[in-house]
Amino acid sequence: MEYIQNFAIFLGLSWILIITPGPDLIYVLTKGISEGRKVGIISVAGVTFGIFVHTIFAAIGLSVILKTSALAFSIVKIVGGGYLIYLGLKSILSKSEFKLGKTELVSNKKVFTQGLISNTLNPKVALFFMAFLPQFIKTSGNHETAVPFILLGMVFAFCTFLFLAILGYFSGKLGQYLMKNNKITNRIQKFSGAILVLLGIKVALMKQK
């Protein structure tokens, strides 16, 4: 934990963001409801592996530029902070309802691949990781390492897997409950949006040590 700061805050914010209804959550619930618990868990594995892929990409790029270039650091924090604020405002102002779509029966391998591809090829996830992770990495010192990025990404991926696996296992009842209680999901979404806005402001104002 030598290069990681505010880990407790990172963990708390991660859980808030993970439980917020989004594409991954809806994908897992859809698969679980339509094809059973086993398929729901397999879809979770695909999504989680996609998160780890984004972690590697973020670690390779950010671990270098945040340590070697003040200009790059400024660009990352402004763009990253602005993007988090944008996502937050979008969540707060969104009026969309929680809906589950229909799905066709496919093999377990294809379910895993779909989850992996949908997460890996989502540019919003990549941008989110590039904006979210750096503020919990210490920028002081003379070492350039990707280790803290990978550790935080693994923690985020593990928490995601844990939560979505529970959703996948109990997908039928949970899906029906969420569809009948849109107010709850909307409140979670708006609360998460407010957190993202505050987080974005913090990122935009942070200084390189």
Domain residue spans in the chain?
8-95+104-205
Give the span between the Cα atoms of 102 and 65, in whole angstroms. 43
Q: In this predicted model, what pLDDT tens digit does every residue of 141-168 receive, in sequence order?
A: 544 567 888 888 889 989 999 998 888 8
- Taken as a whole, the chain contains a residue count of 209
pTM of the entire predicted model? 0.68
Q: Over range 99-123, report the average pLDDT.
A: 71
Using alpha carbons only, what angle is made at residue 196 by residues 150 and 79, rounded to the nearest 5 degrees?
A: 70
Q: What was the pLDDT predicted at 22?
A: 73
Burial class (CB in 10 A: 0-12, 13-18, 19+), 190: middle
**Is pLDDT of 182 > 70?**
no
The whole-number pLDDT of residue 21 equals 72
| Residue appearing with tokens 């059973």 | 36
Structure confidence at residue 176 (pLDDT): 65
pLDDT at residue 142 in the model? 47
Q: Is the pLDDT of residue 68 over 70?
A: no
Angle (CA) 174 179 184, round 5°: 85
What is the average pLDDT value for the chain, to the nearest integer? 75
Q: According to the model, what pLDDT value does residue 162 have? A: 93
| pLDDT greater than 60 at residue 171 | yes
Alpha helices for the chain (secondary structure H): 7-18, 23-35, 37-68, 70-93, 108-120, 123-132, 147-169, 171-180, 182-205
Read off the pLDDT of each residue in 182-202 and give the average, rounded to a whole number. Answer: 73
Each residue's pLDDT tens digit, 5-35:
888 888 988 898 888 777 777 778 777 776 7
| The pLDDT of residue 111 | 82
CA distance linking residue 92 with residue 90, whole number of Å: 6
- The pLDDT value given to residue 73: 63
Residue (of 98, 86, 91) closest to 191 by Cα position: 91
State the pLDDT at residue 159.
Answer: 92
| Terminal Cα distance for the chain, rounded | 18
Per-residue pLDDT at 106:
64
Poorest-confidence range of 85-94, 161-170, 173-182?
Answer: 173-182
